[in-house]
Amino acid sequence: MAIRINDNNFYLETENTAYQIQVDRYDVLQHIWYGEKTNQNMDYLLDYHDTGFSGCIYDAGNERSYSVDTLPQEYPASGNGDFRIGALSVRHADGSRALDLRYKSSRVLEGKYAIPGLPAVYDENGNAETLEIVMCDKVSGIEVVLQYAVIPDCDVITRCAVIKNNGTKPAELLNAGSLCLDIPNGEWEWIHFHGRHTLERCAERKPLLHGIQTSSSSRGTSSHQQNPSVILCSPECTETSGKCVGAALVYSGGFETNIEVDQLNQTRLIMGIDTNTFCWRLAPGEVFYTPEAILSYSSGGLEKLSHNFHHIIRNNICRGKFKASKRPVLINNWEATYFDFDENSLFNIAEKAAQLGVELFVMDDGWFGNRNSDCSGLGDWSVNTEKLKNGLVGLTSKIKQLGMDFGIWMEPEMVSEDSNLYRTHPDWAIKIPNRDPIRSRYQLVLDMSRKDVVDYLFDAISKILSSADISYIKWDMNRSITNWYSAELSHERQGEAAHRYVLGLYDLLERITSAFPDILIEGCSGGGGRFDAGMLYYCPQIWCSDNTDAYDRTKIQYGTSFFYPVSAVGSHVSVVPNHQTGRITPIESRAVTAMAGSFGYELDLNQIDDKEKHAVRNQIERYKQYQKLIYNGTYYRLSNPFEDNYALWEFVSEDKSEVLVHGMIFRTDSNANRSCIQLRGLDRNKYYNMDGKIYGGAALEDGGILLPQPAGDYYPIELYIREN
């Protein structure tokens, strides 16, 4: 059994880890342990003294050594004597905020819990178990059901909270965390993933300081600036050794990760919805579900932790026919034409692409409404027949005759002020009455919390998808959201708008994916502005970044790889000089970098010379050969591109018979020795063949292999190795 209950002790065990909870003598739910299996109750490590200025609960009497301000807890609430950051904060009808949660009951269920209206890990194999622990505040009637699911073979535990108002008066949730993890002992560092548009998920590792460290987004999306994922690791932790804990929120809206090191050097991690844009009115009898958090522990370094998350996201978050299948090599016309195209120019791009082996043509922004720039047309999802004289059917038919599939770009959540939709329904846009709206990219945001907006979008999108043979959607979202207000919500419920927006988005995506299961949806938000596990539940791949520069992409994809599998990454070869950086890199370097994901091209293949056309044809053939290994193989980071002169990564097949090393040497130095790199994940007892030379697995891991001598900067690396 993965979950056991014994004398008010709860034991949750995966293949390699143990998580322990205890109901203490005052019915406070304490966190005891999260780490390797020990086959012992670890509560002997908790020994607390009388700490000054730490309050004691009333029923502890004169036991001054007992304080919730010092004890490790499972789900601490604010206003009850714990002065550290809390997981739950409630404002009661009388204005008070105290909440005293005590243990009430528990049960173990077969299978994995689900969360109404929210994406969550699922278990098709029946291996998961669920633990429910009920806590309640006797005075207010607020009840919290903590849900834990154990996925044993993945070394993963998931968590969420169900908050019920069993009282007679309304209450306001000011903070509703999905996860609290208290770590009583040890020194820890944290890794978070910061960035900006065109430079997302830069991994930054820093020692924890006393006080509170925060990684968050109040932008209405998980954002380019921070990612809803975090790692705590011991100072000596490396890729291959040391302790580390990772947490990822399955949520696509504003989020908040707070880490506090307290007065006793204990570490507390809280993760959940962004509190700056959240206030939820909970009437008597109503229930609120927090998003899910995925938790994993590794004693074998960051590499093992990443493998755990890759496995659970690829197999238990992503859904549908495309989650494990090969994806088509595509070409997108955006950087080739921007808004300036017609049916003939698109067909010319597609015709050359088909000759070179491309399988999917994607028509980007500008095909609908009065859309000749980014100042108009969003919301009017009807074909612009001045550009496409024969409509979608005509262009699609011509593309299909080339042997290619056809896809389109859409930005359903947005509206232009210069659009028929906005002129008809100005109240559908997010804006505060009597205030000018905040624009970004000249556009406003539709109020996805409204059912009529979601219904309109479902009908409009369905009409488009049913009108022609469309097999792919690039689902974009090109701005952050501010000035939250919904004309549908009463004044006391305006704090719910941001979360209701996300629920509306998920509802629309669920309806679209259910109605059109054979259409592949790629998520996008100006590239990687909404790259999270919540979106991957509906879109098995996400455009990693609008920055297609191969050098920058090695860094962006490095940071992405700590939590997200390669199969989730959209990555393309683009023209040089690169449109984002002006950098010139070899076409082979661009290709090997883009192969670490769903491969494609972002240029007009008619504009390249014959040598590059030959290279493109060869790249596509190689990618098709490698794709199964890239998608399903185990991924290894062989370097840190923020510190090393090269970026290298490795894929190893499940049976360890195939190995692929890709990457780039950034700078060529005169008269330098060849670099040597140690491979990982091989069978040390096997022998491997690379270009006719035989190497032992142990030799490749311990001694390594010499990289080619680079000839010029941004030199591409591709090493394909097979079992001999």
pLDDT one-digit tens code per residue, 641-657:
999 999 999 999 999 99
Burial track 54-81 (b if 16+ CB lie within 10 A, e otherwise)? bebbeebeeeeebbbbbbbbbbbbbbbb
Domain count, the chain: 2
Is residue 598 included in any domain, yes or no?
Answer: no
The residue out of 316, 346, 381 marking a domain boundary is 316
Q: Give 36-92 pLDDT, tens digit per residue.
A: 999 999 999 998 999 999 989 999 998 999 999 999 999 999 999 999 999 999 999
Q: Give 394-437 pLDDT, tens digit per residue.
A: 999 999 999 999 999 999 999 999 999 999 999 999 999 999 99
Distance from C-alpha of 477 to C-alpha of 470, rounded to nearest angstrom: 20
CB atoms within 10 A of CB 673: 8
612 is catalytic: yes
8-state DSSP, 518? T
Model-wide pTM > 0.75: yes
Is residue 322 included in any domain, yes or no?
Answer: no
Mean per-residue pLDDT over the chain, rounded: 97
Distance from C-alpha of 102 to C-alpha of 99, rounded to nearest angstrom: 10
Is residue 409 included in any domain, yes or no?
Answer: no
What pLDDT, on a 0 to 100 scale, did the predictor assign at position 361?
98
- Average of per-residue pLDDT across 312-320: 97
Distance from C-alpha of 524 to C-alpha of 505, rounded to nearest angstrom: 13
286 is catalytic: no
Is residue 219 included in any domain, yes or no?
Answer: yes
Distance from C-alpha of 48 to C-alpha of 33, rounded to nearest angstrom: 16
Q: What CATH number does residue 35 fall under? A: 2.70.98.60
Distance from C-alpha of 50 to C-alpha of 63, rounded to nearest angstrom: 9
What pLDDT, on a 0 to 100 scale, did the predictor assign at position 444?
98
Q: Which residues contact 439 (CB under 8 A, 6 or more apart)?
A: none
Is residue 105 included in any domain, yes or no?
Answer: yes
**CA 11 from chain center: how many Å?**
29
429, 447 contact by CB (below 8 A): yes
* Residue 56 structural domain: 3-316
Q: What CATH number does residue 680 fall under? A: 2.60.40.1180
Q: Give 131-185 pLDDT, tens digit per residue.
A: 999 999 999 999 999 999 999 888 999 999 999 999 999 999 999 999 999 999 9
Q: Which residues contact 369 (CB under 8 A, 6 or more apart)?
A: 376, 377, 378, 379, 380, 381, 382, 384, 419, 420
Is residue 217 included in any domain, yes or no?
Answer: yes
- Average of per-residue pLDDT across 295-317: 98
Q: Give 328-366 pLDDT, tens digit per residue.
A: 999 999 999 999 999 999 999 999 999 999 999 999 999
Does residue 186 have a pLDDT over 90?
yes
The residue out of 277, 300, 316 marking a domain boundary is 316
Distance from C-alpha of 620 to C-alpha of 600, rounded to nearest angstrom: 9
The residue out of 263, 292, 316 marking a domain boundary is 316
What pLDDT, on a 0 to 100 scale, did the predictor assign at position 125?
87
User: 153, 612, 718, 723: which one is catalytic?
Assistant: 612
- Confidence band for 1, pLDDT divided at 50, 70 and 90: confident
Q: What is the 3-state secondary structure (H, E, C) of 236-294?
A: CCCCCCECEEEEEEECCCCEEEEEEECCCCCEEEEEEECHHHCCEEECCCCEEECCEEE
Does residue 324 have a pLDDT over 90?
no
User: 100, 303, 364, 532: which one is catalytic?
Assistant: 532
Q: Give 583-619 pLDDT, tens digit per residue.
A: 999 999 999 999 999 999 999 999 999 999 999 999 9
Backbone angles phi, psi at 455, to 5 degrees: -65, -45
CB atoms within 10 A of CB 643: 6
Q: And the tokens for 29?
A: 């739910």
Q: Which residues contact 182 (CB under 8 A, 6 or more apart)?
A: 31, 72, 73, 74, 266, 267, 268, 269
- How much of the chain exceeds pLDDT 70, in percent? 100
Is residue 233 included in any domain, yes or no?
Answer: yes
- How much of the chain exceeds pLDDT 90, in percent? 98
Q: CA of 472: how far to CAs of 329, 342, 526, 546, in Å?
A: 12, 20, 18, 19
Is residue 373 included in any domain, yes or no?
Answer: no
User: Is omega for the bond preceding 641 within 30 degrees of 0, making it cis?
Assistant: no
Identify the residue whose tokens are 């947005």: 414
Give the alpha-carbon dihedral of 631, 636, 639, 642, to 10 degrees.
Answer: 60
CB atoms within 10 A of CB 103: 20
Please give the helix or strand (H or E) that residue 639 lies within, else none: none
Q: And the tokens for 94?
A: 């009388």
